[in-house]
Amino acid sequence: MKLLESTNMAVKTLTANKLRSALTMLGIIIGNASVITMIAIGQGAQQFTQQKLESFGPNQLSVFPGGENPEGVNTEIAQLVLADAEVIAMLAPAVREVAPQITSNLQFSRQGRISKVNVTGATSGILYVRNLRVRQGRFFDSIELQQNAQVVILGPAVARKLFGSENPLGQSVQMNNLSFQVIGVMQAKGAFMGVNPDETAYVPITTMAAQLAGRRSPLGIPIDYLELSAQDRASVRAAAFQTTNILTRRRGKKDFMVTANKSVQDLVSQVTGALSLVLASIAGISLLVGGIGIMNIMLVSVTERTQEIGLRKAIGATEQAILTQFLIEAIILSVAGGLAGTGIGVGSALIVGMLTPLQPTVPVGAILLAVGVSGSIGLIFGVAPARQAARLDPITALRSS
C-alpha cells in the first residue's frame, strides 16, 4: 500500500474515533503548552531583569571601600573621599560621569507628619549615572553644592507621605532640626531588587557631610561609595581598568573594589536562562507522559481492531503496510497535539504578558523544537503497538471475532 493511501486510512480511522483521538493527544497538548509557556516566561523574565538593570544606570560601575589581599583575606577598610571621585572624573577618559554618595536614614518632619526617609548626599552626576529624571522643579546646581545649601529633592513616594496632594515645591521640611527647602520632585521609577529610588530624598553631598552626617577627614569629605558611568557599553572594561589604576596610584594600594553593572547583568542573564531551561525540562516530562499515553491507547486500539487487521492481511496487506499505518496514526496524533499545545502555550504567554510586567517572547526555534520533539515521541512510542499489529497472524485475528 502506498504511503498516501496509508495516510488517508490513518486519518479516517482517527476521525472516526474523535473522543479517543482527543484523549490520546491530551498529554502531548499539555506537554507542549507547558514547554512553550515556560520558555516564553523565562525569556520574558530575562528581558525584564536586564531592562530593569539598564534603567538603573547605563554602563554603570560602582567603587566600594575594601579589597582583598593575595591570600583572599579582606583587607582593612579605608574610607573613600570626595577627591577620589574628582580625580577619576579628570583622568579617566573612558568614564563619562561620576557620582560620589553618602547615604543615611533620617527623620523628616512637616506639620506633625514624621517619616523615616533614605537620604542620599550626591552631586548632579547621579542623574545620569542612575538614569534619574526630575518631574517637578529642578536638581541642585554646582553653586548650591559649593555653598552647602539646605535644599532637598524628594522622591515621589516621600513627597506623597509628607505633602499628600499639596505641591511641595518651595515648601520646607525638617531634617535633624534643620530646615530644608524642597526644590524638586523626582520622576517615579519603581522598586527593583530591594532598591526603591521613589522613597529616597537627595541633598548636596557637601551639605550631607557637613550638616547631616557629620563627616570630616584630613583627606577630604569621606563618602560611602561612588558610582560611575562609562562612555558606552564597549568602554565598561576600560573604565573599570582606568578607575582601578588611578585609585591605586593615588591611594598607594588597592583598598577598594570596582564592580560593573554589566557583570551583574550577565550573571542574572545566566541564572534566568538556566532557570528557564530547568522549568522547560520539567514541563517536558509531560511530553514523555503524553508519549506513554499514545502507546497505551494505541495498544488498546490494536486489540479492538484485531479483526480489521486480520481481514486486511487476509486480502493481501503486508506487515509493512500495517506497520506504516499505525506509525502514521501515532505521528499524526503527536504532531496535531504538538500544534494544538503550541497554540495554547503562545496564548498563555500572551495572557501572562497582559497580566504581568513581563513581556514573554516565544522563539521560533522553540516552537519548531517542541513540535519536532512531540512528533518524534509519537514515532518512538508508536513503534511497539505498530509492530504488534503488523505481526498478528491473520487466521488468529479473524478467529478472535
Residue 181: pLDDT over 90:
yes
pLDDT digit string (tens) for 140-149?
Answer: 998 999 999 9
Residue 1: pLDDT over 60:
no
Which residue would you say has higher pLDDT here, 45 or 178?
A: 178
Q: What angle do CA 96, 100, 104 make, to 5 degrees?
A: 150
Residue 355 to residue 337: CA distance in whole angstroms: 27
What string of H, E and C letters represents the secondary structure of 162-222? HHCCCCCCCCEEEECCEEEEEEEEECCCCCECCECHHHEEEEEHHHHHHHHCCCCCCCCCE
Residue 326: pLDDT over 80:
no
Q: In the prediction, which pLDDT does 185 show?
A: 94
Residue 269: pLDDT over 70:
no
Residue 78 to residue 173: CA distance in whole angstroms: 34
Q: In the prediction, which pLDDT does 204 show?
A: 94
Residue 29: pLDDT over 80:
yes
Q: In the prediction, which pLDDT does 270 show?
A: 67
At 88 the three-state DSSP class reads helix
Whole-number average pLDDT of the chain: 81
**Burial tier of 353 (Cβ tally within 10 Å: 0-12, 13-18, 19+):** middle
CA distances from 134 to 82, 196, 207, 296, 386 (A): 24, 15, 20, 65, 71
Which residue would you say has higher pLDDT here, 380 or 218?
A: 380
370 pLDDT band, cuts 50/70/90, is: confident
Which range among 97-106, 160-169, 315-324 shows the weakest confidence by mean pLDDT? 315-324
Three cell numbers at 144?
548650591
Q: In the prediction, which pLDDT does 25 show?
A: 82
The full set of domain ranges for the chain reads: 3-52+267-399, 79-254
Residue 31 to residue 3: CA distance in whole angstroms: 29
Highest mean pLDDT among 162-176, 279-293, 367-381: 162-176
**Burial tier of 119 (Cβ tally within 10 Å: 0-12, 13-18, 19+):** buried
Q: In the prediction, which pLDDT does 368 show?
A: 82
Residue 180: pLDDT over 90:
yes
| Owner of C-alpha cell 480489521 | 308
| Owner of C-alpha cell 515645591 | 169
Residue 348: pLDDT over 60:
yes
Q: In the prediction, which pLDDT does 300 show?
A: 74
Which residue would you say has higher pLDDT here, 113 or 340?
A: 340
Three cell numbers at 300?
488498546
Q: What is the DSSP letter of 257?
A: E
Which residue would you say has higher pLDDT here, 35 or 389?
A: 35
pLDDT digit string (tens) for 46-93?
Answer: 777 777 666 666 688 889 987 655 455 554 567 899 999 999 999 999
Q: In the prediction, which pLDDT does 156 show?
A: 93
Residue 363: pLDDT over 70:
yes
pLDDT digit string (tens) for 286-311?
Answer: 777 777 777 777 777 776 667 676 77
pTM to 2 decimal places: 0.62
What string of H, E and C letters represents the secondary structure of 91-121? HCCCEEEEEEEEEEEEEEEECCEEEEEEEEE
4 pLDDT band, cuts 50/70/90, is: confident
At 137 the three-state DSSP class reads strand
